[in-house]
Structure 1
Amino acid sequence: MEKSHVFYTTFKTSLRENLLQKLHRLMKQAGFEQIDFTDKYAAIKIHFGEYGNLAFLRPNYAKVVADYVKELGGKPFLTDCNTLYVGSRKNALDHLETAYANGFSPLQTGCHIIIGDGLKGTDEALVPINGEYVKEARIGQAIMDADIVISLTHFKGHELTGFGGVIKNIGMGSASRAGKMEQHCEGKPNVNTDKCIGCGICLKICAHDAPTITNGKAVINHKKCVGCGRCLAVCPKDAIQGGADAAIPMLNRKMAEYSLAVCQGRPCFHIALICDVSPNCDCHSENDIPIIPNVGMLASFDPVALDAACADLCNRMPVMDGSVLCENLRKAHDHAEHDHFVMTHPETEWTSCIEHGVKIGLGSSEYELIQI
């Protein structure tokens, strides 16, 4: 099988070309213009960053992508879906305010923002994929309505999946709140009784009579629950929460299958920037010292190959002094060989995501790195 092409450039610039111009050239070299954008809606899947986090990609990069789409006759919009956890992006209004606060306004990026799964995270399309673990993926409706998907990914560490790369950005990031819950656990929520006030709003929204009020607190019958996530959206006290009890390999495999649901049947193009490589996801309201120096920018039509290439490049980099990775290395007895991401979060592993992505036909782990 022919290796997938992954195009790569460093962050080194010159008087003749700045980083934004370099990103445009990278996209062009990687074949961006092979896609027919004429009068097509192009979803640019990005992470706007949790409020308080400063490691997310600068909106300047998003403008390069949006402007290029418009140059080719397309109609771009930036998008992400609401979070499962409670934070500054749990509904569309808070999500938009956070995006604007972090610089992602139409004036700055040159295009509008559409929150993919709507006001409360319940606007979703059920996408049949008949995977090993997922039969119907729950993807944000606006993302599925797009003709073309472009992922613009900040490649960094992640406390559950080892690293947050392209597949994480597409698979987890494009899922509705119920879709995120399905990936993280068995797909059914639980009630935090300390927060629950027994108001009964969850009873009114549920079409399956799963919640009941017992001793002034809501209880969800998992035999009746279908995992739609609507109760999470309406709870005024954020007492209803999705679990996180899936084994890491299972989470990674579901994430790959959700990525397949997003990408199948339409043109997709993927960009990853390895900079400010924080140990944790941009969903955190803080960011720690980067674990490695900045690496570069990469682009490919193959999300699996792109993630594999990013991981390999990161693992060749020196460790940043004072970082979590540096501290963990000092505690370890064997410094001879290690994986930067596993060493940062020793309970994680990322290879199951790559392996499953190959298995289901999402992409190839074999790649040719073409430096421009």
Structure 2
Amino acid sequence: MKKLVTATFLLTFMVLVLFSACSTENESNTSNKVPASPGSGDIAKPSGDLPVVYMTGSIDSASLAAIYKALGREVKGKVAVKISTGEPGGHHFLDPALIKDLVQSVNGTIVENNTAYGGRRANTAMHKQVAIDHGFTAIAKVDILDEDDSISLPFAKGKNIQEDFVGSHFANYDSCLVLSHFKGHAMGGFGGAVKNISIGFASSMGKAWIHSAGKSKTNPWGGPQDAFLESMAEAAGAVMDSYGDKIVYISVMNHLSVDCDCSNNPAPPEMDDIGILASLDPVALDKACVDQVYASDTKRSASLRERIESRNGLHTLDHAEALGLGSQKYELVRIDG
């Protein structure tokens, strides 16, 4: 009888130890979790295996500075700050008051290129006036990169284009802070970091070259849709190759219209503002922004989701990933707790 009691006690003790060990192991696997990308469950803090996308739900100057710091890479030397100055009539472009402190902290010059579709930014004189009217010259110097023609950036891996045409002043800068306003786009489905460094950095001639998938330097219209999307990825690759590790990407998810800042009459946003996201990988950043749209209220995000899907927008990221420009898998890390 005594042996039976002893055996029962030992068995109970072993079960308790095993249960405690399992509980401890489960706690260690979840204690350092952060919110994940929509639909992928929780993920651990940065491990180095995947590109990191940082996020904050706050949209203000302090949060913009904090997310830039979180990237751990400083832009130095003569810094180009790539934004969209916004077509007059539209009003969803980044607020100069929001970006002022960050732009000035890196001693950056705001850079843009002329359009290929007419409008009030089709030549340098008009474009400079838009920059004044929209408040950008009040916070920093503004340089229209293709004021003095274009230069070619090679991209040998391109399926549609093997060179990208950017404004000649591009060569004057050592590093780049890419400040993008994430939103919809009439042709690309959405506009984020990849669009900002492809179409955005392209000269007027380069824009026609990308839109036509390498068929024309003067006519941006009528090119095959998927070839255009692929050409955007390829043009982005040319810019990335040129800057190397001297470029960072930040996207602001507010005023989420289905239309781009290049529209002079954009649709009003139907969605709530989401926050600011940033990464050293533009493909991961754009995918994270798209994922945030899809994780939002289904009814309110319906128009933007339809815009992305009807233009096959994610094909740009698929092609960019296939070219080795980045990853659509990422770790999302909140910096706001």
Gaps of 5+ in 2: 1-47
For 2:321 and 2:308, the matched residues in 1 are separated by 24
For 2:88 and 2:72, the matched residues in 1 are separated by 34
Report deviation, 1:283.
0.8
Q: Which residue of 2 aligns with 1:311?
A: 290
1:112 and 2:138 equivalent? Answer: no
* Stretch of structure 1 that moved more, 308-317 or 140-149: 140-149
**Is contact 2:183–2:191 with CA below 8 Å preserved after alignment?**
yes
CA deviations over 1:75-134 (Å, ceiling 9, x no partner): x210111000110100111001111111112x3x1x200001116xxx111111111211
**Is contact 1:7–1:370 with CA below 8 Å preserved after alignment?**
yes
Gaps of 5+ in 1: 13-18, 71-75, 190-226, 230-241, 329-339
Classify the secondary structure of the residue corresponding to 1:3.
coil
Q: Which residue of 1 aligns with 2:191?
A: 164
Q: Determine which of 317, 320, 330 is the counterpart of 1:354.
A: 317
**Is contact 2:61–2:102 with CA below 8 Å preserved after alignment?**
no
- One-letter amino acid of the structure 2 residue matched with residue 57 of structure 1: L
For 1:144 and 1:260, the matched residues in 2 are separated by 16
- One-letter amino acid of the structure 1 residue matched with residue 123 of structure 2: N
**Is contact 1:127–1:138 with CA below 8 Å preserved after alignment?**
yes
Report deviation, 1:252.
1.1
Report deviation, 1:58.
0.3
**Is contact 2:164–2:206 with CA below 8 Å preserved after alignment?**
yes
Tell me: CA distance 1:345–1:163, structure 2 relative to 1, closer, same or farther (3 Å).
Answer: closer
Root mean square deviation, CA, Å: 1.9
TM-score (norm 1): 0.73
Report deviation, 1:253.
0.8
Alignment of 1:9-28 (within 5 A): 9-11=56-58, 19-28=60-69
Q: Determine which of 69, 78, 87 is the counterpart of 1:41.
A: 78
Q: Which residue of 2 aligns with 1:258?
A: 235
Q: Which residue of 2 aligns with 1:180?
A: 207
**Is contact 2:61–2:98 with CA below 8 Å preserved after alignment?**
yes
Report deviation, 1:61.
2.9
Q: Which residue of 2 aligns with 1:90?
A: 122
- One-letter amino acid of the structure 1 residue matched with residue 232 of structure 2: M
Larger radius of gyration, structure 1 or 2? Answer: 2
Report deviation, 1:32.
3.5
Q: Which residue of 2 aligns with 1:207?
A: none
**Is contact 2:210–2:231 with CA below 8 Å preserved after alignment?**
yes
For 1:103 and 1:133, the matched residues in 2 are separated by 37
Classify the secondary structure of the residue corresponding to 1:50.
coil
Q: Which residue of 1 aligns with 2:106?
A: 69
**Is contact 1:45–1:152 with CA below 8 Å preserved after alignment?**
yes
For 1:115 and 1:320, the matched residues in 2 are separated by 39
For 1:316 and 1:169, the matched residues in 2 are separated by 23
Q: Which residue of 1 aligns with 2:161?
A: 134
Percent pairwise identity: 31
Q: Which residue of 2 aligns with 1:29?
A: 70
- One-letter amino acid of the structure 1 residue matched with residue 191 of structure 2: G
TM-score (norm 2): 0.80
Tell me: CA distance 1:364–1:59, structure 2 relative to 1, closer, same or farther (3 Å).
Answer: same
Report deviation, 1:345.
6.1
Tell me how many residue pairs correspond in the alignment.
285
Give the number of the structure whose residues are more often helix, by fraction: 2
